Chain A
Amino acid sequence: MKKKLDVFYDFKVMGFNAHLPFLISLLLILYSCLRKDALNHIIPALELTFPVFAAWWSIFLYQYILEEPGSETVFSYPTSRLQLGFLRAFVFFIFYLFLLLAILLIIDQLCVARIFLPLAVQLGSEVFFFAGLGFWAITMTANSGWSLVILVIYSSTQILTRGVLFPIINVFSFNTNLLNASELWFSSVHSFSLGVILWIWAQISFGRFHKYH
């Protein structure tokens, strides 16, 4: 296959939006430093912010292609919609996963408890869900503003009602301690399955996109 991914370019095009997840990561590490021994604060802080921002890259990766007038020419190139759509979002999801692992590794060194593995599984599956949610939202709305609105509505209603509203689509565990093996298994399979649905749905809608400006 010819090389058609251009990751550095994608970063550059996103401008400030490309950097935001790094900023969030720094803040979370800082916060964890300050509250070293309060795992019951660190875990919720991580869960309620970090995965949500996984949607960020997914959304802004497509801002130019789907939202800007005149970008339709991109679809006339011999690059398949799978490469243009799913593949780019997935590569950035993998980057985000690495970012998660890096943060957890750092916090793991600071904290008393060994948090790395359980949180990597729990938050990793939530990251997968939110990366899919972002990709889904931007392909459905073709508008980064509305995609962010969807993201905010989803996160805020779930967080404020602590997952009681539509529990079937809730991915947050709201745990203050590490989940035990069976809870972890259940919650991550649940987030992951919801994520799979979003990723597939998003790619189908991206493949059919033809509302050129």
Chain B
Amino acid sequence: MLEIKNISKCYGKFPALTDVSLEISPGMFGLLGPNGAGKTTLMRIITTLLTPTAGEISMGNINWKKAHLVRNMIGYLPQKFSLYKNITVKEVLHHIAVLRGFYDQREKMVVDVLEKVNLLEQKDKKIKELSGGMIRRVGIAQAILGDPQIIVVDEPTAGLDPAERIRFRRLLHYLSKESIVIISTHIVEDIAATCEQAAILHKGKILKKDDLKSLSDMAKGKVWSMTLSTDEYFNISKEWNVISSQHLGDKYNLRIISETPPNGAVSATPTLEDAYLYLMGCVSE
């Protein structure tokens, strides 16, 4: 169990994180929040790249103050991952295995991780010759070298095409069988598809943390659906908070967030996306 207790982080006077506490158990944990919420800052604190202004992190009897111990059990894929463009995949991973202290086992280890991320065929290609999705997979490969107990990935699906995104989620989910996987994202779907637990971060504060079902239930009784013609849709979208619309023949099926039901709307089962938008709506008012 990874315990994050009352973490705060200021850049100068700017509070990027305020009193963040989380308990993360094995499996996949999602950190959801808009841009600027402080996700990357929290990820960097968990990976020991930044030290918090206040608060503590520990797992078992290891305290994050002993950063050198923590680094043996952490794998990190940063938001903008790209490394050593002119070097081949295999060489990069060999080098990283050396930096991680696995000089003697590096040959076997690298083949193992390349197999896991399905990049064996690309092992002799240079990084610059790979697609965005493949580079992300190299990123995962370097993060899981040596089987760390905690894998931290920051906005891993940004910039991937839909097919790559789905494959990537599947890969992360697979890894969470044996490790804690912490994923940050502003894309609700990433979390809805993979995580058991999630927290919603906004302006450096945790708004809510729970399992996905309970998070979705926050919007219970606030989500409505109705089917309208094109003209009616234009009218209603001025008055109500329409969060999604789907074209069905000559009509539109709308999803609306509201405390009171619009005329003719029926109550809908809330999804994580609904709950997230509802919550963001509440805090922006």
On A, residues with C-beta under 8 Å from B are: 2-6, 9, 12-13, 15, 64, 68-80, 84, 210, 212-213
The 4 closest A-B pairs by CB, nearest first: A78-B71, A70-B80, A76-B76, A69-B80
Min C-beta distance of B99 to chain A, whole Å: 4
Q: How far is the CA of A79 from the CA of B81 in the complex (A)?
A: 19
Q: How far is the CA of A74 from the CA of B71 in the complex (A)?
A: 11
Task: Enumerate chain A residues within 8 angstroms of B91, measured Cβ to Cβ.
Answer: 9, 12
Task: Enumerate chain B residues within 8 angstroms of A210, measured Cβ to Cβ.
Answer: 49-50
Q: Is B99 a contact of A72 with CB atoms below 8 Å?
A: no
On B, residues with C-beta under 8 Å from A are: 44, 47-50, 68, 71-72, 74-84, 86-87, 91, 94-96, 98-101, 103, 139, 142-143
Q: How far is the CA of A209 from the CA of B132 in the complex (A)?
A: 28
> 5 A-B Cβ contacts within 8 A?
A6-B98, A70-B80, A76-B74, A76-B76, A78-B101
Task: Enumerate chain A residues within 8 angstroms of B48, measured Cβ to Cβ.
Answer: 76
Min C-beta distance of B41 to chain A, whole Å: 10
Min C-beta distance of A87 to chain B, whole Å: 12
Q: Is A213 a contact of B80 with CB atoms below 8 Å?
A: yes
Residue of A nearest to B88 (CB): A12
Min C-beta distance of B1 to chain A, whole Å: 21
Q: Is A79 a contact of B49 with CB atoms below 8 Å?
A: no
Residue of B nearest to A72 (CB): B78
Task: Enumerate chain A residues within 8 angstroms of B86, measured Cβ to Cβ.
Answer: 12-13, 15
Q: How far is the CA of A57 from the CA of B247 in the complex (A)?
A: 60
Q: Is B82 a contact of A68 with CB atoms below 8 Å?
A: yes
Task: Enumerate chain B residues within 8 angstroms of A79, measured Cβ to Cβ.
Answer: 99-101
Q: Is B101 a contact of A4 with CB atoms below 8 Å?
A: yes
Min C-beta distance of A68 to chain B, whole Å: 7
Q: Contacts A12-B87, A73-B83 given: A78-B78 contact, CB under 8 Å?
A: no
Pick from A3, A70, A80 the residue with the most CB of B within 10 Å: A70
Task: Enumerate chain A residues within 8 angstroms of B99, measured Cβ to Cβ.
Answer: 4, 6, 74, 77-79, 84
Task: Enumerate chain A residues within 8 angstroms of B95, measured Cβ to Cβ.
Answer: 6, 9
Q: Contacts A12-B91, A64-B84 given: A72-B49 contact, CB under 8 Å?
A: yes
Q: How far is the CA of A113 from the CA of B140 in the complex (A)?
A: 60
Task: Enumerate chain A residues within 8 angstroms of B100, measured Cβ to Cβ.
Answer: 77-79
Q: Is B80 a contact of A13 with CB atoms below 8 Å?
A: no
Q: Is A75 a contact of B49 with CB atoms below 8 Å?
A: yes
Q: How far is the CA of A135 from the CA of B225 in the complex (A)?
A: 62
Q: How far is the CA of A5 from the CA of B99 in the complex (A)?
A: 8
Residue of A nearest to B49 (CB): A75
Task: Enumerate chain B residues within 8 angstroms of A13, measured Cβ to Cβ.
Answer: 84, 86-87
Q: How far is the CA of A77 from the CA of B74 in the complex (A)?
A: 8
Q: Is A77 a contact of B96 with CB atoms below 8 Å?
A: yes
Min C-beta distance of A4 to chain B, whole Å: 6
Q: Is A73 a contact of B98 with CB atoms below 8 Å?
A: no
Q: Is B98 a contact of A4 with CB atoms below 8 Å?
A: yes
Pick from A2, A73, A84, A210 the residue with the most CB of B within 10 Å: A73
Which one of B74, B75, B83 lies within 8 Å of A68 (CB-CB)?
A: B83
Q: Contacts A2-B103, A4-B98, A70-B81 given: A78-B68 contact, CB under 8 Å?
A: yes
Task: Enumerate chain B residues within 8 angstroms of A78, measured Cβ to Cβ.
Answer: 68, 71-72, 99-101
Pick from A3, A5, A75 the residue with the most CB of B within 10 Å: A75
Task: Enumerate chain B residues within 8 angstroms of A5, measured Cβ to Cβ.
Answer: 98
Pick from A70, A78, A210 the residue with the most CB of B within 10 Å: A78
Q: Is A73 a contact of B72 with CB atoms below 8 Å?
A: no
